[in-house]
């Protein structure tokens, strides 16, 4: 029993070992075949990608070139569109101006047509009168062409509403021209009829009446010729003015569009320059602020310079106050000068009056004997007054000269002090502004001050 179990266990173990070994061998075979397949697929994919890369690069280049061409074409089309818009605006302005001109011309033509119609009616009435006079003067009835003339007159249509329409165009101008031509032909026809009836009247009327009627007919002919000449001249003048206005308008619009384009290009260039300068200034200010923060310990005298600038500004304000005071003193001196002049004039007038009154008194008291001491006292009084007047005059003159010289001297000193203060302020401001650049400037502060001082002395001397 034990031997049988041992044999059974050994057989079972051998079969189990054989099965496990077979399964492991098949598993390794499958794994190896799978790895081989994967490697083959990877090599094929890598090869396909290597082949596809140049194709994709070429297609990408083609797409980029196409994109650049489309972009350039788009820019070109934008420019063309902008040009077309400008041309459209210019054309609209031209059309508006032309429409206004045409409306004005149509109104003028309408007025002319009304005048011509009135003239035609007057001529028709005159013709009818002449026909009636000729028929009454003839012995035998003569067939009058009044029926033909009345039938030949076309019916004049009124287009008053058409002239005031908002959509007036070239058709209205053509119609007005045709109407003018028709009226001119009508006038010529009426002239021929007038000639016909004139001939009839010459045979049917006496000599005296013939001469008067002939004179009237000559006058009418002359007036008709003058009207025709005026009409033709006005038409030619209107055409000439219209052509001149159109040419001037075209030139003006072209000049305005050209200037507008030039100004736009200049403004764009100026904006670009300002943007570049702004960027540069921002960069320089940032760099200078950083360097100023780094070199803050190297410029301890900036506060002293600021204090000096403040003190100089205070001195300048005080000098301006002194200038105001001096101007007031000068005004006061001028007033005193005027008062002294008035006082001098008054004393002069009193002296002249006194000198005039002396001979009058002498004339009044010729009979009386004047004592010698009175005459001497009067002469002494006159001399004293003259000397006092002369002394007052010289004193006023010296005082005025002294005040004017003092004011001029003080004004010159003020100007000198102001120039000196201004020069010192410029020097300190220059040193203050140059102090921020000492960190990267190789020139020392003493050399800058000396150069600025020399520059200031040169400016002050000049």
Domain ranges of the chain: 67-136
Torsion angle of C-alpha atoms 68, 70, 73, 74, degrees rounded to 10: -110
CA distances from 6 to 15, 17, 19, 455 (A): 14, 16, 20, 127
Please state, in angstroms and rounded to a whole number, the distance separating the CA atoms of residues 361 and 366. Answer: 8
Which pLDDT tens digit goes with each residue over 388-419? 666 666 666 666 666 666 665 566 566 556 56
Which pLDDT tens digit goes with each residue over 187-224? 778 878 777 777 776 665 554 555 566 777 777 878 88
Please state, in angstroms and rounded to a whole number, the distance separating the CA atoms of residues 183 and 177. Answer: 10
Q: Are 173 and 238 in contact (CB under 8 A)?
A: no
Q: How many CB atoms lie within 10 A of CB 75?
A: 10
Q: Are 147 and 128 in contact (CB under 8 A)?
A: no
The pTM assigned to this predicted structure is: 0.23
pLDDT band at 122 (very low <50, low <70, confident <90, very high): confident
Please state, in angstroms and rounded to a whole number, the distance separating the CA atoms of residues 53 and 45. Answer: 12
Residue-level pLDDT at 9? 54
pLDDT band at 367 (very low <50, low <70, confident <90, very high): very low
- Whether residue 105 is predicted with pLDDT greater than 80 in this model: the reply is yes
Which pLDDT tens digit goes with each residue over 64-77? 888 888 888 888 88
Q: Among 31-40, 111-120, 217-226, 415-424, whose mean pLDDT is lowest? A: 415-424
CA distances from 308 to 296, 311, 415, 417, 425 (A): 19, 5, 20, 16, 8
- Whether residue 103 is predicted with pLDDT greater than 80 in this model: the reply is yes
Which pLDDT tens digit goes with each residue over 223-259? 888 887 878 787 887 777 777 777 877 788 788 878 8
Angle CA(72)–CA(75)–CA(78) in degrees, nearest 5? 150
Any idea which residue has 């921020």 for tokens?
436
Any idea which residue has 């209205």 for tokens?
172
């Amino acid at each position: 029993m034990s031997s049988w179990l041992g044999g059974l266990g050994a057989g079972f173990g051998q079969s189990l070992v054989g099965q496990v070994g077979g399964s492991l061998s098949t598993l390794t075979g499958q794994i190896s075949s799978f790895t081989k397949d994967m490697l083959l697929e990877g090599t094929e994919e890598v090869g396909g990608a290597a082949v596809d890369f140049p194709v994709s690069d070429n297609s990408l280049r083609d797409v980029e070139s196409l994109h650049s061409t489309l972009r350039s074409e788009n820019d070109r089309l934008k420019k063309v569109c902008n040009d077309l818009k400008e041309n459209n605006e210019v054309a609209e302005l031209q059309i508006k101006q032309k429409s206004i001109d045409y409306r004005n011309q149509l109104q003028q033509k309408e007025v002319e047509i009304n005048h011509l119609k009135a003239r035609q009616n007057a001529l028709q009435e005159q013709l009818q009168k002449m026909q009636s006079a000729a028929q009454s003067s003839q012995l035998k009835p003569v067939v009058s062409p009044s029926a033909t003339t009345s039938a030949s007159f076309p019916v004049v249509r009124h287009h008053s509403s058409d002239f005031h329409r908002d959509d007036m165009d070239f058709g209205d101008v053509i119609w007005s021209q045709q109407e003018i031509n028709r009226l001119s032909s009508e006038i010529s026809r009426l002239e021929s009829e007038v000639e016909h009836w004139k001939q009839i009247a010459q045979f049917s009327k006496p000599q005296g009446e013939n001469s008067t009627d002939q004179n009237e007919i000559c006058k009418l002919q002359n007036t008709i010729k003058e009207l025709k000449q005026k009409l033709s001249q006005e038409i030619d003048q209107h055409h000439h003015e219209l052509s001149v206005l159109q040419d001037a308008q075209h030139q003006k619009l072209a000049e305005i569009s050209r200037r507008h384009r030039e100004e736009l290009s200049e403004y764009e260039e100026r904006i670009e320059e300002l943007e570049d300068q702004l960027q540069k200034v921002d960069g320089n200010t940032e760099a200078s602020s950083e360097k100023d923060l780094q070199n803050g310990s190297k410029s301890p005298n900036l506060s002293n310079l600021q204090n000096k600038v403040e003190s100089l500004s205070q001195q300048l304000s005080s000098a301006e106050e002194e200038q105001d005071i001096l101007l007031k003193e000068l005004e006061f001196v001028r007033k005193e000068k005027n008062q002294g002049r008035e006082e001098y004039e008054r004393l002069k007038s009193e002296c002249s009056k006194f000198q005039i009154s002396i001979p009058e008194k002498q004339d009044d008291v010729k009979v009386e004997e004047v004592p010698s001491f009175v005459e001497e006292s009067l002469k002494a009084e006159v001399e004293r007054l003259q000397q006092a007047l002369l002394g007052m005059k010289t004193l006023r003159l010296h005082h005025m000269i002294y005040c004017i010289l003092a004011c001029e001297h003080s004004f010159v000193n003020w100007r000198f002090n102001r120039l000196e203060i201004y020069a010192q302020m410029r020097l300190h401001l220059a040193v203050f502004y140059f102090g921020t650049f000492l960190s990267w400037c190789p020139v020392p502060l003493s050399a800058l001050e000396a150069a600025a001082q020399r520059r200031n002395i040169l400016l002050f001397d000049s």
